[in-house]
Structures are given as C-alpha cells and as structure tokens.
Amino acid sequence: MTEEQRLVQETAAAFSRDVLAPGAALRDREKAIEPEVFQGLADLGFLGMTVLPDYDGAGADYVSYALALMEVAAGDGAVSTIMSVHNAPFNAILQRYGSDTQKEEVLRPAARGEFIGAFGLTEADAGSDAGAIKTRAVKRNDRYILNGGKEFITSGKIGGWIILFAQVEGAATKSPITAFLVPTSANGYVVAKVEEKLGQRASDTCSLRFEDLEVPAEYRIGEEGEGYRIALSSLETGRIGIAAQSVGMARAAYEAAVAYAKERRAFGKAIIDHQALGFRLAEMRTDLEAATQLVLNAARLKDAGVPCLTEAAIAKLFASEAAERIVSRALQTFGGYGYLSDFPVERIYRDVRVCQIYEGTSDIQKIIISRAIGA
C-alpha cells in the first residue's frame, strides 16, 4: 500500500473500532443509524471517496475505497452497505453521466455527505433481469410522469435523492429504459414498506411506489434509452464494494473467534491449541487472505483503467461465499455462545448472508465469469 492508502485504512479502522463496533448491536435492535455516524463518515470523506475534488469529493483511488469499506464493514455491515450504495452506484453514475447542473445541485452535496443517495432499479419481477422493469414514464411537455414501483431499495426511506429507472413510453430508441434523478421529497414518491430482514437491520430496505411522480426533464440522466447502459456502468465498482464488505465482516468474525479461542480453555489447555480448532482457524485465515487479495486485485485494475468486470465478479463471488464460511466457522468456534445475540458473531452471521444476493447474486457472477471464459 502507498502511504495515502495506509492512512485511509488506519483512519477507517479507528472510526470502526471507536464508533461503529460499540454501537452495532444497538443499531441492529433499533433498526436505525444515528446521525452522528453519518456525520462521522462525511467528515472523513467516506461519502464521496472516489468523487473528484472538483465536486467536493475525496478523489481517492479504488484501492483506498476498498480498504475503507473493509474497515467500516468490520465495525458494522449495515453502515457499510449504505456507504457502498451512496458511493457506487449513486455518486459514480452522477459523476460519469450527470449534467453540469445535476453535478452542482446533487453530486456536490452528496460527496460532502449532506444526504444519503439511493439507487432504484430492482422490481418485483425484475431483479437480475434489469431489462424487464415495468415502471413507466410518460413525457408531458417539460416533465416526465412516473408510475410503478421498486423493491429491495437500500436507503429508500432515509435517502435524500434516488436514481430511478423507467421505461419511457413512445421512446424512439431501441431500449426505452431511461434514468432519472429524483428527490425523495417529491409528491408521488411513496415508501410503501420498510422490509423486515434477516440481517443488516439498521440499513433500511424499502418497497417503493410511484404515483404520478413528476420529474422535470432536466433531471433525466443522459438521453432517453441510455438507462440500461447507465445502470450497468457502475457494476465493477459496486461489486468491488460488496466484495470488500464481505471481507470486512468476515475478518471481524475471524478475529473474534481467534481471541475467544485463545481465552477459552478445555481439557486443560486453550482451545486454539487443539488441532481440530487450529485447523478450522487456518482454513478461515486462508479464505480471508484469498478474498482480500481478489478484492484488491480488482481495485488495482480499476485504478489502472483496465476493464475488470470479470475480476470484480470473481472477487464478489469468492469473497461473499467465503465470508459465509468464515463467519459460520467463527460461530462454531464460540459454541453455544456464538448462537446468542450477546456475542457479535450472531449479528455478523445474519449481516453477511445478503452479500451473496445483492449487487448480482452468486449465480449471476458465475454467468459473467463463464461468459468471459468462453469469449
């Protein structure tokens, strides 16, 4: 790592240790994140990490971004999910495709952390198959009227702005899917439900409805018909982010298991000195190292400007599945105590499971990787 990258990692680790980890269990129970946490992320520049300084971002490289996400996830997986979605796809799309006006009005305050951004693509019948979305937009004079809904939207309630995708009726393009930038305070933007979830309960995941939601034409991102390309444009960064989250949560569980194994005694010695337990920890450590290096490899390729969709998919696939193995083995190391909410591995076990689902399921990652093999 460079000195700058090491400083980012150390800064994120301190914030995670001092602020995030101590309050993670309470956030999970109350299903909310305190404003001080968001302010802390903003003060550190973590809500605009890869946004250019020209728009008040930190201008960090992707390795630094991955390192920061690992540390934040180690403290609280729910917080890292909000940070990930806000940075990419929300900020990433605006920086690449937003108009000058959109960048001034929305990207700049987003990079400063003045609000949280959301991303609305998934629908009840259109998850992995993004081209099947049914939300409709009708253009009337200088605005679009949106009707439909979205599912599983991170920060759908707490977010200040959201990037939405809809099919524009009568669009003279091959694909009618178009991207829109929408304030969540707009009339017709309805949070139909905040979902009850297995894990990451502090991060709100919402079902949204749009009822004659009016969007001024100047809030369209790109041209009509460019929405599908825009939606897919941030996949590399998004998947690097989820892979980094997986590593962070897995590492927290692994370190907790090691500490416990050194303290807990059975049959006259610390349980870490029993070969069965020692081998389990060795397997966990190996999985963790491999996942970490895959994430950093994809991030380095991204920094070098090399297309890395396949490498990002490999990192996301391996890291998310390895993380579940690691956390499960950590829970097993704690024995009965690991099954109790008094210990952090129980929450981490619930939090990490979704990493194999969002930002493209493991099956989708395998499809991407297999296509690259056959290309």
Q: In this structure, are strands 161-168 and 177-183 parallel, antiparallel, or unpaired?
A: antiparallel
- Ranges of H-type helices in 227-308: 227-232, 235-263, 275-303
Q: Which two tokens stand for residue 21?
A: 């980890």
Q: What is the DSSP string of 200-214?
A: -TTS-EEEEEEEEEE
> What is the Cβ-side half-sphere exposure of residue 43, based on CA atoms within 13 angstroms?
9
In angstroms, the CA 87 to CA 67 distance is 14
Q: Which two tokens stand for residue 364?
A: 């989708």
Q: Which two tokens stand for residue 20?
A: 């995030």
Tell me whether residue 304 is exposed, middle or buried, using C-beta atoms within 10 angstroms of its C-beta: 0 to 12, 13 to 18, 19 or more. Answer: exposed
Name the residue among 111, 118, 126, 190 with its Cα closest to residue 154.
118
Amino acid code (one letter) for 29: R
Amino acid code (one letter) for 295: V
Which residues are identified as catalytic? 359
Among left, alpha and beta (phi > 0; psi -120 to 50; other), residue 139 is: beta
> Who's near 10: CB < 8 A, 6+ residues apart?
none
